[in-house]
Chains A and B, each alone.
Chain A
Amino acid sequence: MTINKIKDGSTLTLALEGRLDTTTAPELEKEVRTGLDGVQQLIMDFAKLDYISSAGLRVLLSAQKLMSKQGGMKVIHVNEMVSEVFEVTGFADILDIE
C-alpha cells in the first residue's frame, strides 16, 4: 500500500493505493498517530484502494474518534468491495462516506 499525502491549509487528504490489511494497516496507523496535529478536516481518498480488512477498519475507527474531537473526517471514492464491508460492519453509520 502507498499513502499519498496532500496538505491544503488545515485539510489533509490521505489517498491510499493498494490494500489496507493486517500487514499495511500499521503504516496508516502511524500517519494517524503522528500526522494529524493541526488538521481539522481529514479526507481519506479510497479511489485506488482495492480492499480493506478488519485491521484497516480498526485504524479508521481510531482516526474517526480522533478527528471527531478536532474537526471531522470524510471517506471518499469508496469501491464496491469496501462499501460492502462498511455496510455489513455498521461502519457506514459511523463514518461520513461520500
Chain B
Amino acid sequence: MKEMTTEARIENIPAVTAFIDEQLEALDCGMKAQMQIDMAIDELFNNIASYAYAPGTGSATVRFDFDEAARVAAITFVDSGVPYNPLEKADPDVSLSAEEREIGGLGIFLVKKTMDAIEYERRDGFNVLTIKKTI
C-alpha cells in the first residue's frame, strides 16, 4: 500500500496522477487501463477539490493498493469534507442532442462506466471513495 496526502486543489491533480502512474507503470499496466484510471482521478479529485471544503480548503489522501493474484488496482480517495456520496447522483440522459445537453454528472457517470467497481463509504467523518480496475 502506498499513499500521498496533498491539499485538495485542482492544481494538484497532475501530482496525484503522476503518483498513481508511477505505481501502474511499475506493474506493467496496459495503456488503455492507465488512461481510464487517469481520467477517473481527474473526475474524482476534481470533485473533492471543487466541493469537499468549499469555500475553504482542506487535504485529501490518495491510496494505492494492488491485488497481485487478481491484478486488480484499487485507488482510494479520502477527504474530511462535507458528506458526499457521488454514487447517489442520477445518471445523465446521454441521448439528448447538443442543444439540450447539460454537462453536469457526466464525470462520475464516466467513472462508473470505465472502472470495474466504485464504492463509497462515510467513515468516522471521512468520505472514502474507492475505484477498482483490473490492469
Hey, which bits of chain A sit against chain B, CB under 8 A? 19, 21-23, 50-55, 57-58, 61, 64-65, 68, 80-81, 84-85, 88-90, 93-94
| A-facing residues in B80-112 (Cβ within 8 Å) | 92, 94-99, 101, 103, 106-107, 109-110
Give the residue name and chain of the A residue nearest to B39 (CB). A53
Interface size grouping (class) on chain B: 20 to 34
B23 adjacent to chain A (CB < 8 Å): no
Contact with A along B95-132 (1 / 0, CB 8 A): 11111010100110110011000000000000000000
Are B96 and A90 touching (Cβ within 8 A)?
A: yes
Given A51-B38, A89-B109, A65 and B10 touching (CB < 8 A)? no
B96: chain A residues within 8 A (beta carbon): 90
Give the residue name and chain of the A residue nearest to B102 (CB). A61
Are A22 and B46 touching (Cβ within 8 A)?
A: yes
Given A21-B13, A21-B39, A21-B42, A68 and B32 touching (CB < 8 A)? no
What are 11 A-B pairs at a CB distance below 8 A?
A21-B13, A53-B43, A57-B103, A58-B103, A65-B98, A85-B114, A88-B94, A88-B110, A88-B113, A89-B106, A89-B109
CA distance A58 to B14 in the complex (A): 20
A84: chain B residues within 8 A (beta carbon): 114
